[in-house]
């Protein structure tokens, strides 16, 4: 059986009853976090640009563009919502995927769910199916796929989105196999665009491309049986044709939603900065440090990090999200990294500007090399009085082994949602997501996500 056929069998035949009960809780948490960052990102420039194209191109009014009164076709809505959800780089990650699973998947599922009048159980199952396929392919391809320059959120996530769309649209096994093979040709996304508007666009691109693949397959478009594992197929082109069969063996047996899991972000910057931010905020508080106390900072990272955090001298807010120098300096000088940290123009705080030049990032070969440890760091701060302060290798809060509490996650959602919704509306959405699987028609949720943005 081909790889696409194996995936299609999993997509079509998996039921929510077969999934461990805890996966529903994980999907609720992912949905709460994702809808929050989607609402917050709807006001960002990249989201507005995409919406202008959506309005110009039109589309039958079946799906909601979050934060607005605009309704359009599922593919265009998914593109707009995906770009908004990733605009702040505040959305969740998975370290086997080495990308962002939830924004593309929820953008797909909300749009298709509205057009197909799906219920909450269908959305939850679609998320689980898409997530498991994302992580299976990530396990097969990474880290080489990622270090070669592919942005896995889109280059892998497109197939997860196609799987989720196919399930909600009721495609059969043959149609789903074609949808996945079509999606393999759609898959793309380059890390060279990190620090620009195209990076968040990738998340919307994955969602729209996955929906389009499912729509085309439903209408009869065919694709190669061996598009994934063939000699010139997806896995070979992206770098790991020998590993794909083994990675697919665990589908439906080992649930990655409970295994490698989801890392929720406490800071609106690249996940690879978070361990260092945590460590430096902790050192600052424990030793009552100020910027003038610091002689030098060294942040040890794994080998996947330098090509991602490539902006040593960032000039824009988006570049600063991918700068260890900026994030580390902000954490030490201000004791926080939040929405207000990332603005265009010159860095406002002169202490942050000056401290950036004293932050060095190096590859630390002694750091753990496990899949779930790609974002770990080791931090050393040398003080002007001659002392050195160091942390042990560590991950960050929000990682699966240190998850945000339900209260902290809810606070994050409410803080994000209030940029578009009233406090009462945001509370009502949070309450509804707490019973996501019981929603009889997903439009009862999406109708609450409308706003006044143009």
Q: Which two tokens stand for residue 151?
A: 């942005």
Whether 191 and 303 share a structural domain: no
**pLDDT score of 114:** 98
Which residues lie across from 68 on neighbouring strands?
453
User: How much is the pLDDT for 239?
Assistant: 79
State the pLDDT confidence band at 98, using cuts at 50, 70 and 90. very high
Indicate whether 298 and 245 sit together in one domain: no
Contacts of 42 (CB under 8 A, 6+ apart): 66, 67, 68, 84, 87, 419, 420, 451, 453
> Residue 415: what are its φ and ψ, rounded to 5°?
-65, -35
Q: Decide if pLDDT at 240 tops 80.
A: no
Q: What's the distance, CA 37 to chain centroid?
A: 10
Distance (Å, whole) CA 408 – CA 129 = 27
Q: Are 341 and 270 in contact (CB under 8 A)?
A: no
DSSP letter at 307?
T
Mean pLDDT of 24-53: 98
Output the DSSP codes for 88-121: TS-S-BBTTTTB--HHHHHHHHHHHHHHHT--HH
Is residue 163 exposed (0-12), middle (13-18) or buried (19+ Cβ within 10 Å)? buried
Q: Does 293 lie in the same domain as 437?
A: no
**Within this chain, do residues 18 and 148 fall inside the same structural domain, yes or no?**
yes
Q: Is residue 110 part of a domain?
A: yes
Number of H helices and number of E strands within the chain?
Answer: 20, 6
Distance spanning both ends of the chain, measured CA to CA: 48
Task: Specify whether the CB–CB gap between 66 and 449 falls below 8 A.
Answer: yes
362 & 383 share domain: yes
Domain that holds residue 80: 3-265+429-449
CATH of the domain at 10: 1.10.4100.10
- Same structural domain for residues 287 and 255? no
CB 220 within 8 A of CB 211: no
Q: Coil, helix or strand for 446?
A: helix
Per-residue pLDDT, averaged over 348-359, amounts to 95
* pLDDT at position 371: 77
Q: Which residues pair with 263 in a beta bridge?
A: 93
For residue 246, is pLDDT > 70?
A: yes
Asked if 260 and 298 sit in the same domain, the reply is no
As for how many domains the chain has, the answer is: 2
DSSP E strands, 277-327: 294-301
Nearest Cα neighbor of 93 from 403, 408, 411, 326 is: 403
Residue 260 CA, distance from chain mean position: 14
Asked if residue 384 is part of any domain, the answer here is yes
Average pLDDT, the chain: 96
Same domain, 207 and 278: no
Task: Report yes or no: 256 and 131 within 8 Å, Cβ to Cβ.
Answer: yes
Cβ(381)–Cβ(285) below 8 Å: no
3-state SS, 44-78, equals: CHHHHHHHHHHHHHCCCCCEECCCECCEECHHHHH
In a domain, 17, yes or no: yes
Q: What is the pLDDT of residues 293-327, one digit of tens each?
A: 999 999 999 999 999 999 999 999 999 999 999 99
pLDDT digits (tens, 9 = 90+) for 168-222: 999 999 999 999 999 999 999 999 999 999 999 999 999 999 999 999 999 999 9
Are 231 and 104 members of one domain?
yes
Q: Is 452 exposed, middle or buried (0-12, 13-18, 19+ CB in 10 A)?
A: exposed
How confident is residue 60, by pLDDT bands cut at 50, 70 and 90? very high
Contact criterion met (CB below 8 Å) for 129 and 167: yes
Alpha helical stretches, state H, 170-242: 173-186, 198-218, 234-238
Mean per-residue pLDDT for 344-363? 95
- pLDDT for res 347: 93
Asked if residue 405 belongs to a domain, the reply is no
Beta-bridge partners for 453: 68
pLDDT at 241: 62
* For residue 141, pLDDT beyond 70: yes
pTM to 2 decimals? Answer: 0.96
Please, are residues 78 and 204 in contact by the beta-carbon 8 Å criterion?
A: yes
68 shares its domain with 154: yes
Q: Are residues 293 and 254 in the same domain?
A: no
Residues 93-111 have a mean pLDDT of 97
CA angle 424, 426, 432 (to 5 degrees): 105
Q: Is 396 inside a domain boundary?
A: no
Burial group, residue 366, by CB count within 10 angstroms (0-12, 13-18, 19+) = exposed
For the segment 397-417, the average pLDDT, to the nearest whole number, is 96
pLDDT tens-digit series, residues 409-439: 999 999 999 999 999 999 999 999 999 999 9
| 32 in any annotated domain | yes
How far apart are the C-alpha atoms of 214 and 161, rounded to whole Å? 9
Both tokens of 69, joined, read: 């009164």
Residue 294 sits at φ, ψ, to 5 deg, of -95, 125
Domain of 381: which CATH number?
A: 3.30.1330.120
Please give the Cα distance from 211 to 98 (Å, whole number). Answer: 22
Strand partners, 388: 382
d(CA 164, CA 108): 7
Whether residue 407 lies inside any domain: the answer is no
Mark whether 107 and 215 lie in a shared domain: yes
Q: Would you mind telling me the total number of residues written for the chain in this entry? A: 454
Whether 419 is in a domain gets the answer no
Q: Which residues contact 17 (CB under 8 A, 6 or more apart)?
A: none
Cβ contact 282:331 at 8 Å: no
pLDDT digits (tens, 9 = 90+) for 63-74: 999 999 999 999
């Amino acid at each position: 059986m081909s790889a696409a056929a194996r995936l299609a069998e999993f997509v079509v035949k998996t039921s929510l009853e077969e999934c461990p009960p805890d996966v529903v809780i994980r999907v609720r948490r992912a949905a709460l976090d994702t809808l929050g960052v989607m609402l917050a990102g709807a006001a960002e420039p990249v989201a507005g640009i995409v919406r202008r194209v959506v309005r110009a191109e039109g589309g039958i009014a079946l799906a909601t563009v979050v934060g607005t009164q605009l309704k359009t076709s599922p593919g265009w809505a998914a593109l707009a919502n995906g770009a908004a959800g990733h605009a702040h780089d505040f959305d969740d990650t998975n370290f086997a995927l080495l990308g962002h699973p939830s924004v593309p998947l929820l953008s797909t599922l909300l749009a298709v769910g509205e057009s197909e009048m799906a219920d909450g159980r269908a959305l939850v199952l679609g998320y689980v199916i898409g997530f498991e396929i994302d992580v299976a392919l990530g396990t097969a391809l990474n880290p080489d796929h990622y270090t070669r320059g592919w942005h896995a959120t889109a280059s892998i996530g497109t197939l997860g989105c196609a799987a989720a769309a196919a399930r909600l649209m009721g495609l059969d096994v043959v149609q789903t196999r074609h949808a996945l093979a079509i999606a393999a040709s759609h898959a793309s996304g380059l890390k060279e665009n990190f620090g620009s508007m195209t990076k968040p666009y990738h998340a919307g691109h994955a969602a729209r491309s996955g929906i389009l693949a499912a729509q085309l397959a439903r209408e009869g478009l065919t694709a190669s049986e061996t598009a994934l594992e063939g000699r010139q197929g997806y896995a070979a082109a992206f770098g790991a044709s020998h590993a794909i069969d083994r990675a697919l063996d665990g589908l439906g047996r080992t649930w990655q939603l409970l295994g490698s899991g989801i890392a929720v972000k406490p800071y609106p910057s690249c996940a690879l900065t978070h361990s260092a931010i945590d460590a430096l905020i902790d050192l600052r508080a424990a030793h009552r440090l100020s910027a003038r106390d610091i002689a030098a900072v060294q942040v040890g990272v794994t080998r996947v990090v330098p090509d991602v955090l490539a902006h040593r001298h960032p000039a824009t807010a988006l570049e600063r999200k991918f700068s260890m120098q900026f994030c580390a300096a902000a954490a030490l000088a201000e004791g926080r990294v939040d929405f207000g940290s990332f603005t265009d123009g010159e860095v406002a705080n002169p202490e942050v500007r000056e401290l950036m030049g004293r932050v060095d990032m190096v590859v630390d070969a002694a750091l753990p090399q496990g899949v779930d440890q790609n974002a770990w760091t080791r931090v050393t701060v040398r003080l002007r009085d001659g002392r050195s302060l160091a942390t042990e290798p560590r991950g960050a809060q929000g990682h699966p082994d240190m998850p945000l509490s339900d209260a902290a996650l809810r606070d994050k959602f409410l803080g994000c949602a209030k940029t578009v919704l009233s406090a009462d509306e945001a509370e009502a959405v949070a309450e509804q997501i707490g019973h996501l699987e019981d929603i009889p028609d997903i439009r009862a949720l999406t109708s609450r996500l409308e706003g006044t943005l143009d």
